[in-house]
Amino acid sequence: MTKTFIIEKGQKPTEEQIQEIREAAKRPVVFDEDCPEMSPAMEKAFRCAVTQRNRRKQA
């Protein structure tokens, strides 16, 4: 199950949210046909796209 929390800039997460993040970090990542594991080249391209998107958001 996926949960999404929107935290505004400067806002701190609640203790409950921090605990859920810690618990989720302990679980293994499960890949399937809808979400296959990325090759190193695909991962590099994804990171580059995220960096460019974040630069545009901050401008």
pLDDT single digits (tens) 26-53:
999 999 999 899 999 999 999 999 999 9
Q: Please answer whether residues 17 and 5 qualify as being in contact, where contact means their C-beta atoms are separated by less than 8 angstroms.
A: yes
> pTM score, two decimals?
0.49
Average pLDDT value over all residues in the chain: 89
Residue 2 confidence (pLDDT) above 80: no
Give the whole-number percent of the chain exceeding pLDDT 90.
Answer: 58
Judge residue 24's burial from the number of C-beta atoms within 10 Å of its C-beta, 0-12 exposed, 13-18 middle, 19 or more buried: exposed
pLDDT bracket for residue 3 (50, 70, 90): confident
Q: Where are the domains of the chain?
A: 15-58
Judge residue 53's burial from the number of C-beta atoms within 10 Å of its C-beta, 0-12 exposed, 13-18 middle, 19 or more buried: exposed
Phi/psi zone of residue 9: left (φ > 0), alpha (ψ -120 to 50 degrees), beta? beta
